[in-house]
Amino acid sequence: MRLFSMNSCQARLRLVQAGAVFAAALLVAGCGSQYRPVVTPINPSGPPSQPTSYVAVVSAPSTTTPGIATVVDYSGDTVVAQAAIGPGPLTFTLDETGTTGYSINSDGTLTNFPVSSSLQAKNVNYTTLSTVSEPVNLFAPSAGLWAPDLNGNVVDVFTGSPQTFKLAVPVAPTPIAVVGPGLLGQRNFIVSQNFLDPTGVACNTAPHGVTQNGEVDTIETSSYTVSARIPVGVCPVFGIEGNDSRRFFVLNRGSDTVTVINVQNNTLDACTPFVNQSGQTVTCHPTLPLSKAAGLTGTNAPAVAGPVYAEFNSATNQLIVADYDGKSITVIDVSLDEYGNDSGTFGTTFTIPVGNNPASVTVLPDGSRAYTANQTDGTVTIANLSSHTVEKTLPVIGHPRTVVSTANSLYGKVYVASPDSPYLTILRTDQDIVDTTVLVEGNIVDVRVSTQNGSNGNSNVQSHRPGYGEPCNLPGAASVATLAACRAIP
């Protein structure tokens, strides 16, 4: 008898051959390498990661010890890197790309450092300035670095990587700010107070008692020469250019006005009224009033404004100005028509009362709300820019001088810094609440965001050091005799 084995499929075939009905059903069920569905499990991935964005904070434990650069992650509100920089940093800003920070230090050095999670002491570079240099602020476009210098009334230009001194360009007395598209643009604007005041006392403590008009000197970046000298208001303290690089706005704290400069014409924004191709009458606006004293009419107009800081919002074509002496912000329509002329609504102004001494303001990218740092009150006011009303006021730690914002996810965040506090206050804009605070080493000199939200022109790439018309660090500091004393207040 022959023995052999057969598999199950063979057995079913034998049954089929035998004519068994049950075996036929088994055959239909399949045998051999017939298709069988394969199920691939999908593992849960969770919410998508947020884009990388950092907040750069420079703080000063004292005026003589090294300052500290701190990088805070946007998504987690955590400190991801920290390194020592130059001693007693006086002012600080980021470049246009948000990747490099710059500080002027009390020992006369200039520091640059990377704004990233890999920041270490070995990445910090130093440039030694002349022993007689007195740089006031920094302007850091995507290429090059500019610093108004009180010694000799010049603007120092730096190039290379790391930045090294290239040349000094003479400008009007007491230069306090540089604004423009930078080294790769056509021209930069130098804001000068135009009278000798090396202490910065006059425009800081009594700006409305000054009678000398300021000046803006235009420097052509191709030749580093001054191509125009444009008169502005009294005690100019800040300048900002629109995102379209067609208008430049100068804040005059002493005369409560904003001077408008036509960037393309390199002149004051003044012209003879004319009718354009659309049949609209066009009138240029060389000066915009901010207070009743300067000619502003309407509800909530303060008697004295004292503008010190502004942001340009590209979504609404508005300039939002912090009126330090007027306890208000001014919202100005600065839209242009299709031909690049001032629109029919250019200069339309709304004034919103906020807290006491708003030292700075920031605007959300969609132009819906503005946030002010009310220095004396120790609060942040949230203003609705559609209804021109106050929505909420939030208490923060210290007496805030800087407020900046960014939108890098489903909602944005606002960062508030006080020169008398080591805590960075972070607000959530979806609920307008204080989200958290981050402790750094030493009181905060300034704060900047690496991701540009596109709403604030180039105000993020220039520093605004206290003194010379900018508010001092703390309430009551207006009585101090020198900028150094203002900076040294604990």
191 burial (CB, 10 Å; 0-12 / 13-18 / 19+) is: buried
Query: Which tens digits make up the pLDDT trace of 91-137?
Result: 899 988 888 999 999 888 899 999 999 999 999 998 888 778 888 89
- The better pLDDT of the pair 483, 185 is held by 185
Query: Which tens digits make up the pLDDT trace of 274-287?
Result: 887 778 788 899 99
Tell me whether residue 178 is in a domain: yes
| Across 391-406, average pLDDT | 94
Query: Which tens digits make up the pLDDT trace of 176-219?
Result: 999 987 555 688 999 999 988 766 678 887 889 999 999 999 99
Where does the pLDDT of residue 461 fall: very low under 50, low under 70, confident under 90, or very high at 90 and above?
confident
Give phi and psi for 422, each to the nearest 5.
Answer: -90, 10
pLDDT at 490 over 50: no
Tell me whether residue 419 is in a domain: yes
User: In the 3-class helix/strand/coil scheme, how is 393-429 assigned residue by residue?
Assistant: EEECCCCCCEEEEEECCCCEEEEEECCCCCEEEEEEC
Query: Which tens digits make up the pLDDT trace of 234-278?
Result: 999 999 998 888 999 999 999 999 999 999 899 999 988 888 777
pLDDT at 401 over 80: yes
Global pTM?
A: 0.86
Pick the range with the lowest mean pLDDT from 133-147, 372-386, 462-476. Answer: 462-476
Tell me whether residue 7 is in a domain: no
Tell me whether residue 14 is in a domain: no
Q: Can you tell me the distance from the alpha carbon of 94 to that of 100, in angstroms, rounded to the nearest whole number?
A: 6
Go through 312-339 and write b for each residue having 16 or more CB atoms within 10 A of its CB, e for each that does not.
bbbebbbbbbbbbbbbbbbbbbbebbee
- Indicate which CATH number applies to the domain containing 345: 2.130.10.10
pLDDT at 485 over 70: no
Where does the pLDDT of residue 23 fall: very low under 50, low under 70, confident under 90, or very high at 90 and above?
very low
Q: Can you tell me the distance from the alpha carbon of 242 to that of 140, in angstroms, rounded to the nearest whole number?
A: 17
409 burial (CB, 10 Å; 0-12 / 13-18 / 19+) is: middle
Q: How many helices (H) and strands (E) does the chain have?
A: 4, 34
Determine the structural domain holding residue 298 and report its residue range. Answer: 53-488
* Region class of 299: left (phi > 0), else alpha (psi between -120 and 50), else beta: beta
At residue 466, what is the residue type? P
Pick the range with the lowest mean pLDDT from 47-51, 138-142, 340-344, 370-374. Answer: 47-51
Q: Which residues contact 104 (CB under 8 A, 6 or more apart)?
A: 89, 90, 91, 92, 110, 135, 137, 138, 147, 463, 465
Go through 244-274 and write b for each residue having 16 or more CB atoms within 10 A of its CB, e for each that does not.
ebbbbbbbbbbbbbbbbbbbeebebbebeee
What radius of gyration do the chain's Cα atoms show?
30
pLDDT at 366 over 80: yes
Tell me whether residue 18 is in a domain: no
Q: Can you tell me the distance from the alpha carbon of 61 to that of 68, in angstroms, rounded to the nearest whole number?
A: 8
Q: Can you tell me the distance from the alpha carbon of 192 to that of 235, in angstroms, rounded to the nearest whole number?
A: 8
Tell me whether residue 11 is in a domain: no
Q: To 10 degrees, the CA torsion angle through 28, 29, 30, 36?
A: 140
**Cis peptide preceding 162, ω within 30 of 0:** yes
pLDDT at 455 over 60: no
Which residue in the block uniquely carries the two structure tokens 């001088």?
401
Tell me whether residue 311 is in a domain: yes
CA distances for 162 relative to 101, 110, 124, 467, angstroms: 12, 11, 10, 28
Give phi and psi for 291, each to the nearest 5.
Answer: -140, 165
Give, for 487, the enclosing helix (H) or strand (E): helix 483-488
CA distances for 370 relative to 160, 321, 346, 423, angstroms: 37, 10, 20, 22
The count of structural domains within the chain is 1
Tell me whether residue 203 is in a domain: yes
Do residues 400 and 407 lie in contact, with contact meaning Cβ atoms separated by under 8 Å? no
